[in-house]
Amino acid sequence: ERGGNNSFTHEALTLKYKLDNQFELVFVVGFQKILTLTYVDKLIDDVHKEFRDKYRNEFQQKGTLGLLNGTFDFKDDFMRLLRDAEESSKVRAPTVMKTFEQSLKSQKTVKCMIETRGEKPKEKVKNKKNKGSKKEGTEAVAAPGKASAGDKQPSAAGEKEELTKDEILQKNREEFFKRHMKAGEKSRSPKPEAQKEKGKKPRVWDLGNSNAKVLDYSNSATNGSAEACPMEEFDPDIALGDRNREPGRLYDLEYESDDEAEEEKVIQNPSKPSTKKGGLGGMFGMLKGLVGSKSLTREDMDPVLEKMKDHLIAKNVAAEIALQLCESVAKKLEGKVMGTFTTVTSTVKQALQEALVQILQPQRRVDVLRDVMDAQRHRRPYVVTFCGVNGVGKSTNLAKISFWLIENGFSVLIAACDTFRAGAVEQLRTHTRRLNALHPPESHGGRTMVQLYEKGYGKDAAGIAMEAISYARNQGFDVVLVDTAGRMQDNAPLMTALAKLIAVNAPDLVLFVGEALVGNEAVDQLVKFNKALADHSMAQTPRLIDGIVLTKFDTIDDKVGAAISMTYITSKPIVFVGTGQTYCDLRSLNAKAVVAALMKA
């Protein structure tokens, strides 16, 4: 129902169903999957209509008790409908091809199909005619101008005839000199009072460091291990952001809905009586948009659903998913009896909100802290692999999750398996240095809380991840976070390499990192990542994406549709939400807050 599908396949059987919302009935037909029965939809529609019409009075009088306690003799009717459906599928004659006389080509004459050299198609001739007409128009506009200039010329010629030849030459010379003098004055620029100093001064940034020696890491002989990395002194307020937060707590997303403000406005501005119309006219006008005790039809809902679909697409929900959501809501509401003072718009909106909240609430909740403690009891590290396309923030959000785990008392080993992108290892090394500065070993009984495992560039990522997990098991690390290279979903060799890394190392959690800025692209990315992991895996039950990290959530205001698109496609939960640049800008998803932002006008 979530996807708008009306069929379910289990082993060798396929079930199709139809809902009757008015009487709260479900009609189900079952058949073997290998059979291609073309009459199934017709059969279920006919049975639904026949059964409902036959026992309508009984449903209305007795209600639910009548359904539970009643006996329905419908076998003969069903067999008749089944025979009719089977016969109707056989009766259909195969489609016959058109004869030449029935086709449009037969109506063309031979003359219209002959093309002679030099002759251009009619469309081009038409365009030329249009261009010619434009030229004629411009010439017509230019003609009065020429005529006016022509009027002035005789008067000027008359003046010249009165002057002598010497006077005319003198006058022309004066005009010539005047023109050149003016041009010379314009071209001359005033001399600068003080000449600018030659050479270019280096720009000094406000947040930069003027001492270049501090930034020079060229003589550093570190190999990426946490012990060898020097401690870095920096302002913790910049890295942490909010100092009043509770350490180790993952806060929910917050969003202030406008509903409360609207309610206050309604209370402050009570409805004034209509002055234009009489009392009865105003009352009837108010009741005009209300539906009283009638069942909803598709015609009632279509205009509202169309607006809702456009609204969802404008909020970055993928177009295909917005359409399927509206179809699902329509099926759920069709035939439902509404209350006396309820509008169609409010009913549809309420049903859509419930459907959106249901989509965002996961079928299986991912509790990372609980799973890490469970792995601790089995004396093994808990392994998390991050994957996604280029530039979505995998390394940055990996560092945020590391900080959150450290604050909850777990030691972290970061595996630098992005051996492709230039600067990827150095970025993780910097994060490791900063995290160790925020949580030095002295604060944790001499235990190093975060360490980087790296083997440089150009190596096999799956092999590095395997070595990192083995190292973490021997050294007693609680969590291994595996950073992978960004890759486009269409790049088959890189997707094969990712599937190999996941299949060989069998991580406990595979997180897809996606940015909240995307719309339709989110669907394509997730579908193809999941398909690639399934296709290129060597196991019978391949590991697919377990959860989603939604990044750059602070850049989209209320256009939160990517969250709906991603969870709808995979039915997997959004485990973390990145909301900024500091280590504390990590949130858990609040479904109601996201839906409130999505439904905001």
Least confident of 46-60, 159-173, 500-514, 529-543: 159-173
Please give the pLDDT value at position 471. 94
pLDDT of residue 481: 95
Beta strands 547-551 and 574-578: pairing type? Answer: parallel
User: Are 429 and 226 spatial neighbours (Cβ–Cβ below 8 Å)?
Assistant: no
User: CA 426, CA 449: separation in Å to the nearest integer?
Assistant: 19
- Asked whether the beta carbons of 556 and 316 are under 8 A apart, the reply is yes
Q: How far apart are CA 333 and CA 270, in angstroms?
A: 33
| H/E stretch holding 534 | helix 520-535
What pLDDT does 270 receive? 40
pLDDT at 430: 93
Instruction: Quote the pLDDT of residue 94.
Output: 64
pLDDT digits over 133-173, tens only?
Answer: 444 444 444 444 444 444 444 444 444 445 677 788 788 87
Residue 249 CA to residue 580 CA, distance in Å, equals 16
Question: How far apart (Å, rounded) are the C-alpha atoms in residues 333 and 325?
Answer: 12
What is the pLDDT at residue 172?
Answer: 82
434 pLDDT exceeds 70? yes
Does 42 have pLDDT greater than 70?
Answer: yes
pLDDT, averaged across the chain: 76
pLDDT higher than threshold 60 for residue 588: yes
SS3 category, 298: helix
Q: 116 or 333, which is more confident?
A: 333
Q: What is the DSSP letter of 555?
A: G
Confidence grade of residue 384 (pLDDT, cut at 50, 70, 90): very high
pLDDT digit string, tens, across residues 183-228: 655 555 455 544 555 566 666 665 555 555 554 544 544 444 444 4
What DSSP line would sit under 494-527, residue for residue?
Answer: HHHHHHHHHHHH--SEEEEEEETT-SHHHHHHHH
Q: What is the pLDDT of residue 500?
A: 87
- Relative to beta strand 412-417, strand 586-587 is unpaired
Nearest alpha-carbon partner for 417 in 472, 458, 380: 458
Tokens 């890295």 -> residue: 239
The region, left, alpha or beta by phi > 0 then psi within -120 to 50, assigned to residue 121 is beta
What local confidence, expressed as pLDDT, does residue 135 receive? 47
Does residue 232 register a pLDDT over 70?
no
pLDDT-based confidence at 416, cuts 50/70/90?
very high
CA distance 226 to 136: 81
Mean pLDDT of 431-451: 90
307-363: per-residue pLDDT in tens? 999 999 998 888 888 998 998 888 888 888 877 677 888 888 888 988 888 888 877
pLDDT reported for residue 308: 92
Please, are residues 520 and 315 in contact by the beta-carbon 8 Å criterion? no
Output the 3-class SS for 140-166: HHHHHHHHHHHHHHHHHHHHHHHCCHH
The pLDDT of residue 116 is 64
Q: Measured between alpha carbons, how far is 308 from 306 in angstroms, rounded to an integer? A: 5
Range 528-540 average pLDDT: 81
